[in-house]
Amino acid sequence: MIVAESIKEIRAFVAGAREAGREPVGVVPTMGALHEGHYSLIDAARRQCQAVVVSLFVNPTQFGPSEDFRSYPRPIEADLAGCEAHGVDAVFHPPVEVMYPGGAATTVHVSRPAERLCGASRPGHFDGVCTVVAKLFHIVGAEAAYFGQKDYQQTVVVRRMVADLDMPVRIVVCPTVREPDGLAMSSRNAYLSGPERSQAVALVESLRLAGRLVEQGCRQASDVVAAMREHLRRRVPAGRIDYVEIVDPETLEGVETIDAPAVAAVAVRFGSARLIDNMRVDAPARSG
């Protein structure tokens, strides 16, 4: 496994892989602090691609002024060991000044799907995500890129960017990996205190509640959201609800009636940790 800190190095690796017939090339964009969720993406890329690149880059442009950029975990040695153990061919670990050299003045903005949910509570977040992902796609030139379902809005926004800008990369979305009690794996789970960690499982509980209500015939999204909010209010006294919504899977616009596949999405803050989760909810087909 090679570790490249410069654009020239990672491009040379990809060019060499292609010359050796190792195509397609897959890329797994990450901010490091790798866990089993990230490794599931790497494993999927390993199964489908002949060469796998993982980026380890804590992107400053997707953090707000009061967010956790400086304290975000950076266990680089553990991350590199994990990448090697999972068969990664090359790690791209650039310094900030490589990705954002002095004088950089271009930002990629995706409207509509990036302006709801997390975009509403974290202004500018998806501009930072789209800019760094666009740069990464341009630098690596992979045929496929792997993202997790947990960051569902991110997958929708990135797919919109790729379609709108005719980027020749396939976006592969892999299932959310969860702890034994159902909590979605996240690097930010490490911020939780013992009581907060116990309460955080309420996020997935609220999503499962939404699924049950829809299966039982509840079609009014407002009723489902009200039940989810009440569950969270009871179960997370240490947390603050950011949003609870039922949205269209493609546009992320809120739905009124759940008569087609939809996505239930939640975000809750526990101190400095902001946790998100989502789950598809489908109305059973009507008989007759």
Tens digit of pLDDT for each residue in 238-271?
999 999 999 999 999 999 999 999 999 999 999 9
One domain for residues 228 and 134: no
| Its pTM surpasses 0.85 | yes
Q: Which of 35, 38, 109, 231 is catalytic?
A: 38
SS3 letters across 245-286: EEECCCCCCECCECCCCEEEEEEEEECCEEEEEEEEECCCCC
One domain for residues 161 and 249: no
Is the Cβ–Cβ distance between 146 and 48 less than 8 Å?
no
One domain for residues 151 and 37: yes
Per-residue confidence (pLDDT) for residue 272, from 0 to 100: 85
- Is 286 part of any domain? no
One domain for residues 20 and 107: yes
Q: Residues 66-71: contacts with CB within 8 Å, 24+ apart?
A: 67/122, 68/188, 68/191, 68/272, 71/272
d(CA 151, CA 154): 5
Residue 86 is a catalytic residue? no
- Is 245 part of any domain? yes
Domain count, the chain: 2
Residues 188-215 have a mean pLDDT of 97
Per-residue confidence (pLDDT) for residue 66, from 0 to 100: 85
Per-residue confidence (pLDDT) for residue 288, from 0 to 100: 46
One domain for residues 90 and 136: yes
- Is 179 part of any domain? no
Is the Cβ–Cβ distance between 27 and 172 less than 8 Å?
no
Per-residue confidence (pLDDT) for residue 286, from 0 to 100: 61
Per-residue confidence (pLDDT) for residue 21, from 0 to 100: 98
Domain final residue, candidates 142, 174, 206 = 174
Give the pLDDT confidence of 93-102 residue by residue, as tens digits. Answer: 999 999 999 9
Is the Cβ–Cβ distance between 120 and 252 less than 8 Å?
no
One domain for residues 215 and 84: no
Residues 220-248 have a mean pLDDT of 97
One domain for residues 136 and 196: no
- Is 170 part of any domain? yes
CB atoms within 10 A of CB 133: 27
Q: What is the CATH number of the domain that holds 71?
A: 3.40.50.620
Flag whether pLDDT at 287 surpasses 70: no
Mean pLDDT, the chain, integer = 96
Per-residue confidence (pLDDT) for residue 284, from 0 to 100: 77
Going 39 to 277 to 263 to 122, the CA torsion angle's sign is negative
The per-residue DSSP string of the chain comes to: -EEE-SHHHHHHHHHHHHHTT--SEEEEEE-S---HHHHHHHHHHHHH-SEEEEEE---GGGS-TTSSTTTS---HHHHHHHHHHTT-SEEE---HHHHS-TT--------GGGSSTHHHHSTTHHHHHHHHHHHHHHHH--SEEEEEGGGHHHHHHHHHHHHHTT---EEEEEPPPB-TTSPBP-GGGGG--HHHHHHHTHHHHHHHHHHHHHHTT--BHHHHHHHHHHHHHHH-TT-EEEEEEEE-TTT--B-SB-SS-EEEEEEEEETTEEEEEEEEE-PPPPP-
Domain final residue, candidates 174, 202, 221 = 174
One domain for residues 147 and 223: no
Domain final residue, candidates 146, 174, 202 = 174
One domain for residues 117 and 159: yes
Q: What is the CATH number of the domain that holds 204?
A: 3.30.1300.10
Flag whether pLDDT at 285 surpasses 70: no
One domain for residues 147 and 202: no
- Is 181 part of any domain? no
**What range does the domain containing 259 cover?**
187-278
- Is 285 part of any domain? no
SS3 letters across 57-98: CCCHHHCCCCCCCCCCCCCHHHHHHHHHHCCCCEEECCCHHH
CB atoms within 10 A of CB 124: 16
- Is 130 part of any domain? yes
Q: Which among 132, 133, 28, 135 has a CA at the least distance from the CA of 82?
A: 28
One domain for residues 247 and 272: yes
d(CA 171, CA 26): 10
- Is 287 part of any domain? no
One domain for residues 109 and 244: no
